[in-house]
Chain A
Amino acid sequence: MNVLATGGRTSLWVSLGAVVLAVGAYLSLAVGVVPIPLSDMLSPDERQWMLLSQVRIPRLVAVLLSGAALAVAGLIMQRVTQNSFVSPSTSGTVEAAVLGILVATLLVPGISLLGKMVVAIVVAVAGTMIFLQLLQRIRHRDPIVVALVGLMYGGVLSAITVFIAYQRDLLQLLEIWTTGSFSAVMSGQYEPLYAVLAVGVLGYVFADRFTVVGMGREFATNLGVSYLRILYTALIILSVMTAVVVVVVGAIPFLGLIVPNVVSMFMGDHVRRTLPVTALAGAGFVLLCDVIGRTVRFPYEIPVATIAGVLGAGVFVWLILRAARRPGATR
C-alpha cells in the first residue's frame, strides 16, 4: 500500500516535471535576436525553420542533455560514495576532464573532437579514482569535510592545468572549457552529446546496484553484488557524462551537487525512483540558467556557467547551513 502510494507520487512528480520542462523548452525556442512568435512555431516559414533547425533546436537539445547528464552524474557519485556533498562538479572530475582536454590538445595538435573526448574521459576516470582513494583515507566521513576535500582537490587539479596552460599560452582556450556556454552550439557540432543518453540508460539499469555498492564492500558482496565491478561501472558512467559535456559545452559549476540534493529533499534517496526526476530537474535548471543568460543582457549573452555559478553557489551555501543545523549531522 505504502509502496504503491510512493510509486504513484513518483510518477506524479515525473509527469509534472516533464510537463513544466516541455512548456519551458517550447517557450525558450522563441527567445533570441530574431523573434519567432509562438504562433509561428508550429508552422514556421522557411527562414524561421532554418533558424529553428540549425540553431535553436540544437541549442535546446544541448541544454537539456547537458543538464540531465551532469545532474545524473552527481546523483550516481553521491549514491556510490553514500555522501550527499560530492559531485563531479565539486570533487575534481570536471577539473580532471579539463586537464585531459588540455593534455590532448598539447600532445596531438589538431586532435579530433572524438579524440579529445576519449582522453578527457580517461583522465576524468583517473582523477575521480584518486578522489575516491582520498575518501577512503578520511576516517570521519562527514559530508562537510568530504565536500571541502573535494573542492580543494579540484582546486589543485585546476591549478596544475592553469600552470601548464600558462606555459603554452593556452589560457584563452582554458577559459572556454571552464566556462560552459551554449552560444556556439549549432547543428553539426553538438551531436556527440547524444552519447550521454545511452550512458544515462545504462545508469538507470544499474541504479539499484549503485545503492547497494554505496552501503559498503561487505554489504554489497553479501547481497551478491560484485563490488568493484559495479563501482568501476559507476565511475566510468559518471566520467563519460561529465567529460562529454565539458568537451562539447564546457563546465557548468555546482549543478551536479545541488540538483540531486534538492530532488532527494522531496523524494528521498531511492536512486531508481529519483534518477528520472533528477535528470528532468537538471535539464530544467540549465534551461533556466540559459534563458536568464540570453535575456538579462539582451542582445548580448551571459555564459550559462556564470549564471549557474551565482545560483548554484547560493543554493550550495543554503544546503551546507541546512546540513550543519541538523544535530548530529556534523561534528
Chain B
Amino acid sequence: MTAVSDRASEILGLHPATGTSVTERERLRSIRRTAVILGLLCAGFAAAYLLWDVKGSWSYALDLRSRQLASLVVVGAAVGASSLVFQTIAGSRILTPGVMGFDSLYVLIQTVIVSVLGPSALQLMGVPERFILNTALLAGFGLLLFRWLFRAHSRNLFVLVLVGIVVGSFFTSLATFASRMLSPDDYLTLQTVLFASFTTVDVQLLGVTAAVAVLGMAALVPLLRRLDVVDLGKDAATGLGLDYHRIVTITLVVVTVLVATSTALVGPMLFLGLLVANLARQIVPTHRHTVLVPVAGAVGVLATVGGQFLVTHVFALNTTLSVVVNLVGGLYFLYLLLKAVRL
C-alpha cells in the first residue's frame, strides 16, 4: 500500500516524506533539460538524415529523403507513444503491442483482405480506404484479443507474454498460409500492394497514416492524466472513482490505431516499442503521462531517424533498421526477463 500512496503523492506533486515540492522543482528542471536535449538530438539527426552526403541532384535527394524522414517520424512517434500507454494499461513493462502480437495481427488482416477481395478489387480500392478498413478491423480484433488474454490470465505476467508471442507467430504463419493460397501471379501482385517499401514511400499512404497518427495522438491527450491513475492498478483506480474499464478500452482503441499506422509504413517491428518505452521511463524520473508519452514519442523518433541514419550512412551497413532493432531488442528483452525472474 505504501508504494501506491508514494506514487499517488508523487502524482499529486508532493514529496512523500515532507509534503513539500522542493525536490519536485528540481525534478521538473531535469525533465525540462531532458526534453530540450531530446528535441535537439531529434532535430540534429533529422537534419543530418536530409543533408548527409548528398550526391547528384539535390532536389531529387531532398524529395526522397524528406518522404523517408516523414515516415520515420510517424513510425517512431506512433510506436513510442502507443507502447508506453500500452505498458500502463497492461500493468507491465514487458508488455508492448509488438510483443503481444498486434503488429502480426495487422499483417494477417491485410493479407486476408487481399485474399478475400482479390488483387483486382484491391487495385480499385484506394490506399486510404484500404488503410482505414485494415485499421478498423485491427481495432476490433485487437480489442477481442486483449480482452481474451487479460480476462482469463491476468494473474500471470509470463503466461500473458508467452501466449502473446506464440499468438503473434500463429498470426504470421496464418498470413503466410493465406498468401500462399493465392496463385503465383496474384501472389506477386499482393507482394507489391501489401508491403510499403520504405525506400520508395508512397505519398498517399504517408499522408493518410500521418493524419491518422496525429488524430490518434490528439485523442490520447485528454486521457493522459487518467492514465496516471490507471497506473496505480485496477483496484486503486476504481477506488479513486475512475471508470477504469472505459479508459482502458478507449486507450486500447487508440493504441491499435497507432500500431496500424506504423505497421502500414514499415511492417512489424517486434521490439522497437519495448526498447523505446522502457528507455523513455529510464530517462525521465516520473510517472506522469503528460511527460512520459511525449518523451516516449521523441525517443521513438530518435530511435527510428537516428537508427536509420547510423545504419545506412555512418556504418554503411547493408541491412535494415528492423534487423538491428530485432537483435538489440531481443537481447534487451532477454535481459528484462532474466532480471524479472531472478527477483
Contact = CB atoms under 8 A, between A and B. Distances in A.
Interface string B96-134: 000000000000000000000000000000000000000
Contact of A297 (B166, B174, B181): B181
Contacts of B181: 296-297, 302
Interface stretch (A52-60, A238-246, A269-277, A317-325): A317-325
A314 B163 CA distance: 10
A152 B327 contact: no
Contacts of A147: 162
B146 interface: no
B314 interface: no
B318 A321 contact: no
B324 A156 contact: no
Interface string A290-331: 000000110010110011011001101100110010000011
Contact of B156 (A138, A144, A166, A309): A144
Given A138-B342, A321-B152, A324-B153, 4 more contacts: A138-B338, A145-B158, A152-B334, A160-B327
Interface residues of B, number: 38
A163 interface: yes
B337 interface: yes
Interface in B316-342: 317-320, 323-324, 326-327, 330-331, 333-334, 337-338, 341-342
B199 interface: no
Given A145-B341, A167-B318, A159 B173 contact: no
B177 A159 contact: no
A140 interface: yes
Query: SS class of chain B's interface: helix, strand, loop or mixed?
Result: helix
Nearest to B170: A313
Contact of B317 (A144, A148, A167, A309): A167
Contacts, number: 114
A149 B334 CA distance: 7
Given A159-B327, A159-B330, A313 B167 contact: yes
A148 B157 CA distance: 11
A144 B184 CA distance: 40
B27 interface: no
7 contacts: A148-B337, A152-B330, A166-B319, A302-B181, A309-B169, A310-B177, A330-B159
A169 B318 CA distance: 9
B324 A163 contact: yes
Nearest to B328: A159
A148 B162 CA distance: 6
Contacts of A134: 338
A144 B159 contact: yes
B326 A313 contact: no
Contacts of B177: 302, 306-307, 309-310
A155 interface: yes
A191 interface: no
Given A149-B334, A159-B326, A167-B317, A313 B166 contact: yes
Interface string A261-289: 00000000000000000000000000000
A324 B155 CA distance: 10
Nearest to B187: A300
A139 B341 contact: yes
Given A163-B327, A167-B319, A317 B165 contact: no
Contacts of B20: none
Interface residues of A, number: 42
B180 A148 contact: no
B161 interface: yes
B323 A163 contact: yes
A162 B183 contact: no
Given A151-B165, A156-B330, A310 B156 contact: no
B173 A313 contact: yes
Contacts of A138: 338, 341-342
A151 B166 CA distance: 9
A324 B156 contact: yes
A320 B163 contact: yes
A40 interface: no
A152 B161 CA distance: 11
Interface string A17-35: 0000000000000000000
Contacts of B197: none
B173 A306 contact: yes
Nearest to B181: A297
B312 interface: no
B176 interface: yes
Contacts of A297: 180-181
Contacts of A142: 158
A156 B326 CA distance: 7
A280 B251 CA distance: 49
B165 A148 contact: yes
A140 to B, nearest CB: 6
Q: Which of A153, A163, A253, A297 has the largest count of B CB atoms less than 10 A from its CB?
A: A163
Contact of A137 (B163, B180, B338): B338
Contacts of B176: 306, 309
Contact of A166 (B166, B318, B341, B342): B318
A162 B324 CA distance: 10
A320 B162 contact: yes
A225 B184 CA distance: 56
Given A139-B341, A307-B177, A324 B334 contact: no
Which 10 pairs across A and B sit closest by C-beta, in order of nearness?
A309-B173, A313-B170, A159-B327, A156-B330, A324-B159, A159-B326, A166-B319, A310-B173, A144-B158, A155-B330
